[in-house]
Amino acid sequence: MTEPLLSVRDLKVVFHLRRGDFTAVNGISFDIMPGEVLGVVGESGAGKSMTGTAIMGLVDPPGEVSASEIRLMGERIDGLDEEGFRKIRGKRIGMVMQDPLTSLNPLYTVGEQLVETIQRHLPLNNAQARERAIKLLAEAGIPSPEERIDAYPHQFSGGMRQRVVISLALAAEPDLVIADEPTSALDVSVQAQIIKVLKDLCASRGVGVMLITHDMGVIAEAADRMIVMNKGEIVETGTVGDIIKRPREPYTIKLIEAIPSIKSQNPRYAAAAARGEVVAANDDTAPLVSVENLFCEFDLSPSVFSRLFGGNRKIVKAVNDVSFTIGRGSTYGLVGESGSGKSTCARMMVGLQPPTAGSVKLEGTDIWKDKGASAKRRRSIQMIFQDPYASLNPRWRVGEIIAEPIRALGLTSSRAEINDRVADLLDKVRLDPGVMNKYPHEFSGGQRQRVAIARALSSQPEIIICDEPTSALDVSVQAQVLELMTALQEEFGLTYLLISHNLAVVRQMADAVGVLHNGVLVESGPVEEIFGNPQADYTKMLLEAVPDISKVA
């Protein structure tokens, strides 16, 4: 019988806190075989990431790791000191973190970081290491790797940075890769590429992968076996097919039921069809928002001299002649890969990035050319960002965060009225008004996103631009947030621009959808028409790349 690549027995992680001990991982056991992808799923706080961190020897005080046994290729590693773990990290165990910015040094190019990692573990000179680095970037799906290797992390989109992190994890040809939410920030097409990279790695070199994710679709596409965790314990384990098709535990059933399906028709369209009605995706006669022939160019020339005197200039058209309208009270979805121009469109619409040409009109008024439109735009258009922790000031209490737009826009100056409004907004987003004295770090990811929604609502906007509002959330929390957004839209008549790489979410939420590719709007129309009968080859490719649990045998 083949020996496990990784064998974990009775792993326990306890944090000794002032208020008592907190058990993050409670005596779990599992194996990963050579060439196997083991999926680990569960909600935030289930202990998934803590398990991977403990295996890597990265749990810091007041955390304490105890295990009967952890073996890597038959060799015990649970008793190693810091120096011993340092020798196996990167070389024998590679790790892909969820947030690429925490894994990359902003002061060095990605090439310098890759070359350093490669040379630390492999006997290669500078030229050989650079050649391997370029190959790794290409395998991870980064276009023009020969040029991008000399770029800094901030010059990449979120999805591109994650590809760089995956390249770093594979740089020293490890035996085991612990991938912690490696695709949560990626588009469906890039997800498919990364899943293929991981599976090819397992097949060609016998590498084992511990794939930690809240995305059951990714598990369905990538994993051979899976374990389901809840509150630090394994509640169910088995083959992917058995658990997805025949789940036994109520917790597993709840997770699977919360997953939106790309094949499910938009609820509004389905309800209208049942009544024999036709849904109007947009009121084109009087749109609330009109984006007309929008362009945005960035000068990426290597030097100021080039920019000033027209030398070797490099101009990138991030948005290239994009036009669409959004009717009042409707939701327009904007989809496309990283770098397609989605977020740039959003920044121009909310007033954060001036367009090179074209217009953004709010009820017929150009927000960039009409001097009197600035105040109206600040109040009428708000934004919800992808990462609620990064968008909320960690030094402010939640009450102050939500109250700031009310004060800044002069909606009221009465302290009592402001407090009443904040309490009402917290209640609207299903949070206890008593939490207004807490700080962002005291909330879960889903709760923080509710705080971000409350802040967006505080200026009484007409339009909310949602930039990947659920991509960092578990499927069950995602379902709650989407339900909340739908309820708020109906209650306040809100208009949404929904930017997401999760096409199932877009189909569930949007009335109309636009597909961006390299800054160009290749297709736009009612969501059921685009998803049911796509015309552009690029749209067809995106839809075919969506991970889907229904594909499991």
Q: What is the mean pLDDT of the segment spanning 312-340? A: 88
What's the pLDDT band for 283 if we cut at 50, 70, 90?
very low
What's the pLDDT band for 284 if we cut at 50, 70, 90?
very low
Cβ burial of 113 (10 Å; 0-12, 13-18, 19+) is: buried
Question: How far apart are the C-alpha atoms of 222 and 37, rounded to whole Å?
Answer: 7
Q: How far is CA 93 from the centre of its chain?
A: 24
Strands (E), 327-395: 331-335, 357-362, 365-366, 381-384
- What pLDDT score does 302 carry? 64
DSSP secondary structure letter of residue 78: T
Question: What is the domain class of 34-57+86-257 according to CATH?
Answer: alpha beta
186 vs 63, residue with greater confidence: 63
Mean pLDDT for the chain overall? 86
| Residue 473 backbone phi and psi in degrees, to 5 | -110, 155
Reply yes or no on domain 268-399+459-551 having CATH 3.30.310.160.
Answer: no
Q: What is the CA radius of gyration of the chain?
A: 24
91-100, 128-137, 259-268, 440-449: least confident range = 259-268
Residue 371 has pLDDT above 60, yes or no: yes
- What pLDDT score does 71 carry? 93
178 vs 478, residue with greater confidence: 178
- What pLDDT score does 30 carry? 96
Is 26 in a helix, a strand, or coil?
strand
Q: Can you give the pTM of this predicted structure?
A: 0.78
Domain ranges (residues) in the chain: 34-57+86-257, 268-399+459-551
Residue 280 has pLDDT above 60, yes or no: no
Residue 270 has pLDDT above 80, yes or no: no
> In residues, how long is the chain?
553
Is 521 in a helix, a strand, or coil?
strand
Residue 235 has pLDDT above 90, yes or no: yes
Q: What is the mean pLDDT of the segment spanning 499-510? A: 89
Beta bridge partners of 180: 212
* Among 203, 216, 129, 207, residue whose Cα is nearest residue 168: 129
168 vs 265, residue with greater confidence: 168
Residue 29 has pLDDT above 80, yes or no: yes
How many helical (H) and strand (E) elements, i.e. helices and strands, does the chain have? Answer: 22, 21
Residue 514 has pLDDT above 90, yes or no: yes
* Neighbour order of strands in the sheet with 381-384: 381-384, 463-467, 495-499, 331-335, 512-517, 520-526
* Topology match between the domains 34-57+86-257 and 268-399+459-551: yes
Bond from prior residue into 433 cis (ω within 30 degrees of 0): no
